[in-house]
Amino acid sequence: MNFKSLPQLLDYFREESTCIEYYENIRWGGKPVCPHCDSENPYKTTRGYKCSNNECYKKFTVKVGTIFENSKISFRIWFASIYLATNHKKGISSVQLASDLGITQKTAWFVLHRIREMLKDKAPKMLGSANMVEIDEAYVGGKEGNKHYGKRRSLDNPDLRNDGTPYKPKTMVVGFIERGGDVVLKKVPRAVNYEVQPLIDIHVKHGAKVNTDESHIYKSLKINYTHDTVVHSAKEYVVGNTHTNTIENFWSVLKRGLYGVYHHVSDKHFERYLDEYANRFNTRKLTNQQRFELFLGQSESVLSYKLLIDK
């Protein structure tokens, strides 16, 4: 198998039995393991497997303990959804996915969020071991001029709307990107040093070379990093090898995707979308099939609809 397009993938995964065998090999490497007790000696039944451990003795299929758990959608549709969601550079909306695959928009929305659950980073990613790291912040939200009068900031008090109710600012995202390498995205409550600096310490190796703009939130970087800045307010964008153009280019992809494809992203699910864009970017050098198999190998994460919509 060596698929390079969606039709090739669908041609290969015509039968559900082929899909199940393929996923079992991805997940278990040909040796089934009980997801309830981790026993390595289950036996096959007509509908899946049953654990041979007397203390467990539970039935299961390859879907149990994964993003596919309790899903009635065929693996063929799931695989097509994963392929589309991870190969579209700016993402794909639930409305478009539903139209493409013949499922309801509600189902497509749930499928896409389960895929984002699969794309979540399981461990902190450390940058700066070899190349320069660029750090910058972006603000996601509607333009002030497009808001209704009562929802705009008051000129007298920027923290309040004109009608006296609390004003909701744009969502701030801080991004770390290693030139030629990976990107890490984190939602931040406010643009202050004590919110951003701990994230930098987690995701950027001490001693690394770091480029930022002149923002005050990076004032402590010189303590643990080799820190150079460009002064954007003075129209200074590149000084020798010092710039933040790589992360700026990434912001353009992120914003065009969020505004042009999804239009609106709720605060509750915002970080799931960040994981989606970061992981799609970080696997840009892989082939379609390599990316598909990599993400399938990270699918052992359960997300119920109740938990997804719970407030």
Give the integer Cα–Cα distance in Å for 153 and 157. 7
The type of residue at 250 is: F
| Closest-CA residue to 257 (of 233, 238, 281, 237) | 281
Give the integer Cα–Cα distance in Å for 74 and 174. 38
Which phi and psi (to 5°) does residue 299 adopt?
-90, 5
Which pLDDT does position 4 carry in this prediction?
A: 87
8 Å CB contact between 293 and 86: no
The answer to whether the pTM exceeds 0.75 is yes
Portion of the chain with pLDDT greater than 70, in percent: 92
Alpha helices per DSSP H over 88-203: 94-101, 105-119, 193-203
Please state which of the ranges 62-76, 147-161, 214-228, 259-273 shows the lowest mean pLDDT.
147-161
Which pLDDT does position 311 carry in this prediction?
A: 73
8 Å CB contact between 223 and 255: no
Give the integer Cα–Cα distance in Å for 16 and 24. 12
Alpha helices per DSSP H over 88-143: 94-101, 105-119
CA 23 to chain centroid, in Å, comes to 22
31-49: b (≥16 Cβ within 10 Å) or e: ebbbbbeebeebeeeeeeb
Give the integer Cα–Cα distance in Å for 179 and 176. 10
Which pLDDT does position 241 carry in this prediction?
A: 92
pLDDT tier, 3 (very low <50, low <70, confident <90, very high otherwise): confident
Give the tokens for residue 254: 């992120």
Portion of the chain with pLDDT greater than 90, in percent: 76
